[in-house]
Structure 1
Amino acid sequence: MDFIPFMFLLCILLWTCFHVLTSISRPRRKIAKLPPGPRPFPIIGNILQLGQNPHQSLAKLSKIYGPLMHLKLGTIDTIVVSTPEHAFKNTIMFYPAGPTWPRPTFTATTRRLWCGPRWATGGVSFGKYAKTRLDGSQGLRREKLKKAKDHVRECCDSGRVLDIADVAFTTLLNLISASFFSVDFGRFGSDSSQDFKGIVHGLLKVLGTPNLADYFPFLKRVDPQGLKRKSELYVGKLIRIFDDIIDQRLKGVSTDYESRDDLLEALLDISRKNESELTRNDIIHLLMDLFVAGIDTTATTVEWAMTELIRNPKKMAKARIELQTIIGQTRQVEESDISKLPYLQIRIERDF
């Protein structure tokens, strides 16, 4: 408990010395016109105003300063965009604030995880595959949702505690892993520290941890919280897993599924035709990028949606009545049913 205050004071002291020494010789630059925002404190800026629940603090601040708001987080100027309209209107670089602390940069993982030099190559072939695969993978999504539904029913019948976050995460993990590699990576209720789920959980936890080096860039080399070291450990494990899967695929080792019509096969096909267009290293970085981003965003949205429904029993009752009326008691919800559920869509649009 004493580590964070100590490191915070140390950062203030080091930054003060650094700022004084560099400002003497640094030429004055013209201050850019920035959106309105709360007045920052010296050195630390607006960090303290984020509080224990930054997403709620930012929502309250946006009501005062508007949908475009400027915050000073340590030495970093940050623009918070609170509405989709302003996100599309303004050609600025920003990072949306979610349930975790807003992160101006991903110091810990930028080099190894999100910097595949040609991750977007093979666009035409990959784009055609993505559209075809999305249209044809509805059965796969239906299968994963049925497994999630069966697990929920099993927990209810046996009286076991249901972990919504684990159900959402495992369902998304298996959906993406089946789409990418034709195998399931997770199991409901498994010990996450012993399998692939634990690696992804650990990496996401590192990404969601407030990093002093993000707000005081001169600390990047020091890595005071050890986040860079931890992230490299998790990323290294992911690289080894993906490397092993690619080796098995190239050697023709069979998987749990007969079909090989998955993302990995499409990427390997592009690479076989022209390795300079898409190398093995490019494939691994692309897979990691899609894997981590795809699981985190959707699973978190589901978890927060269920949280809001639990907090509002009347709204949950209305949503349940709509589902029972439109879908019925026995039939599973299909993707084509979404447009027939207006109340559920309204709640999602208003609350998220």
Structure 2
Amino acid sequence: MSKLVVDTWLRADDGIVTVVLIVASILSIFWLVRMLTSKKTHPPLPPGPRSLPLIGNLLSLDPELHVYFASLAKVHGPIARLWLGKKLGVLITSPELAREVLKLHDTTFANRDVPVAGVEATYGGNDIVWSPYGDQWRMLRKICVREMLSNQTLDSVYSLRRREVRNTVKYLHNHVGQPVNIGEQMFLTVLNVITGMMWGGTVKDEDRATLGAEFRQVVNEIVGYLGMPNLSDFYPSLALFDLQGVRKNMKVLAKRLDGIFESMIDQRRKMGSDENKDFLQFLLKLKDEGGDYKTAFNMAHLKSLLMDMVVGGTDTTSNTIEFALAEMINKPEVLKRAQQELEDVVGKDNIVEEFVQGPRWQNVCLCFCLDP
């Protein structure tokens, strides 16, 4: 190779190095300016426990989350932050801040990330829980609040609730001195009430037990996957791989529940319009005839609302009752106060009703008192 060729190659190589250095310098300046700008435009995050790179605070979470959150509040105050993988979580532990978030600025915080399990369970997130704030969400909320859960509608199925509650009280009374699974019994009670309200005129009494058992199995599994920590939710870039099989398994469960919905819808359509009115009949009429909404109400919305009521209504209610009773049993003084209050207001030999005439309580909530 001649000296001229070597010199030309060296000069070209120096030129490449110079270009690389210039580009690197520009990128470094751009990154520095962006960092300085972001600090000025974004407020600082709330205080919180130290987090590990990439993992965040996932390894420090306690299975008893309510206890863990209470301990964080004592250290970091009423508002704290947690890093769940790549996701930022803000923890609110005071009534005042909760009111700010949930009432005064509810539209600002209305949207949420839809977990993989939620997408599969609710026909692509078309339900009232996961829909983003907008016309569709307002339509679904109006349907639930004004039509399905209005005072008039709830009063019309009072006898159904009363019958199921009395059956549960009778069951517990017949098992005095024996262990009972409160969570399971509460689940069946609430499930019977909800399914009776949704399609009470569609299901025959002899088929209700079979339907309830099938629902309970599917709902329990769905709730399990909805509450399961999923890497696809903490690290969205991994969602394509479905490493834990949550998407795959939830599709199977959602298909099973969809089959039950389809069966109930077919039966209701065959029955036509009669005096046995229920939520399903109302939803089918709304789908076929339309309503005064900006967004059309379709079959995905219908099934998603049924999914919300079956899954959300049964699991949260039964868990709340089971949790409250467990806490009272662990604190005998609280249990005695609750028993005494029921004796004073309702009477020892009377049955608790939803509505009681009297100056003290106009609305008495259902409560089961167990002797300590």
Please give the TM-score of this superposition, normalised by the length of structure 2.
Answer: 0.72
Match of 1:297 in 2: 316
Q: What's the counterpart of residue 258 of structure 2? A: 239
**Does the CA contact (< 8 Å) of 2:126 and 2:300 recur in 1?**
no
Question: Which residue of structure 1 lines up, in the alignment, with residue 283 of structure 2?
Answer: 267
2:154 alignment counterpart: 134
Find the counterpart in structure 2 of residue 172 from structure 1.
190
Shift of 1:86: 1.3
Q: 1:181 aligns with which of 185, 190, 199?
A: 199
Does structure 1 retain, via aligned residues, the 8 Å contact 2:225–2:250? yes
Q: For 2:48 and 2:99, how far apart are their aligned partners in 1? A: 20
Indicate yes or no: 2:165 matched with 1:145.
yes
Question: Per-residue deviation at 1:278?
Answer: 2.1
Deviation at 1:164, TM superposition (A): 0.6
Output the CA distance in 1 between the equivalents of 2:230 and 2:317.
24
SS at match of 2:82: strand
What is residue 109 of structure 1 aligned with on the other side? 118
Q: Aligned AA for 2:248?
A: R
2:24 corresponds to: none
Q: Does 1:61 align with 2:72?
A: yes
Whether the 8 Å CA contact 1:36–1:70 is kept in 2: the answer is: yes
Q: Which has the larger radius of gyration?
A: 2
Task: State the AA in 1 paired with 2:261.
Answer: F
Indicate which of 252, 256, 259 corresponds to 2:271: 252
How far 1:83 moved relative to its partner? 2.9
SS at 1:244's partner residue? helix
In structure 1, C-alpha distance between the alignment counterparts of 2:287 and 2:110, rounded to whole Å: 33
Give the AA of the match of 1:326.
Answer: V
* 8 Å Cα contact 1:170/1:186 also seen in 2: no
Structure 1 regions of 5+ residues with no counterpart? 1-23, 96-102, 348-352
Per-residue deviation, residues 164-204 of structure 1 (Å, max 9, x unmatched): 100111111111111111157875xx998x62210001101
For 1:119-159, what per-residue CA distance to the aligned partner results, in whole angstroms no more than 9, with x for missing partners?
75377676145312123332222111111111111222xx5
1:335 is paired with a residue of what secondary structure? coil
Amino acid in the other structure paired with 1:219: L
Matched with 2:233 is 214
Amino acid corresponding to residue 135 of structure 1 in structure 2 = D
Question: Which consecutive unaligned segments of at least 5 residues does structure 2 have?
Answer: 1-27, 368-372
Q: Quick one: structure 1 residues 119 and 144, their matched pair in 2 at CA, closer, same or farther if it must change by over 3 Å?
A: farther
One-letter amino acid of the structure 1 residue matched with residue 46 of structure 2: P
Shift of 1:56: 0.9
In structure 2, the residue corresponding to 1:195 is in which secondary structure?
Answer: helix
| Cα displacement (A) at 1:321 | 2.0
User: d(CA) in 2 for partners of 1:88 and 1:238?
Assistant: 36
Partner SS, residue 265 of structure 2 = helix
Instruction: Give me the whole-angstrom Cα distance separating, in 2, the residues matched to 1:125 and 1:279.
Output: 13
Q: Distance in 2 between matches of 1:322 and 1:130?
A: 29
Judging changes above 3 Å, is the alpha-carbon distance between structure 1 residues 147 and 259 closer, same or farther for their aligned structure 2 residues? farther
Instruction: Give runs of aligned pairs for residues 1-352 of structure 1, distance below 5 A.
Output: 30=38, 32=42, 33-90=44-101, 91=105, 93=109, 105-113=114-122, 114-116=125-127, 118=136, 121=139, 127-131=146-150, 132-156=152-176, 160-182=178-200, 183=203, 195-252=214-271, 259-274=275-290, 277-337=296-356, 340=360
Aligned residues: 307
Asked whether the 8 Å contact 1:122–1:277 carries over to 2, the reply is no
8 Å CA contact 1:76, 1:104 repeated in 2: no
Query: Which amino acid is the alignment partner of residue 226 of structure 2?
Result: L
What residue number does 2:22 align with? none
1:45 and 1:75 in contact (8 A); partners too: yes
C-alpha RMSD of matched pairs (Å):
3.5
SS of the aligned residue for 2:116 comes to coil
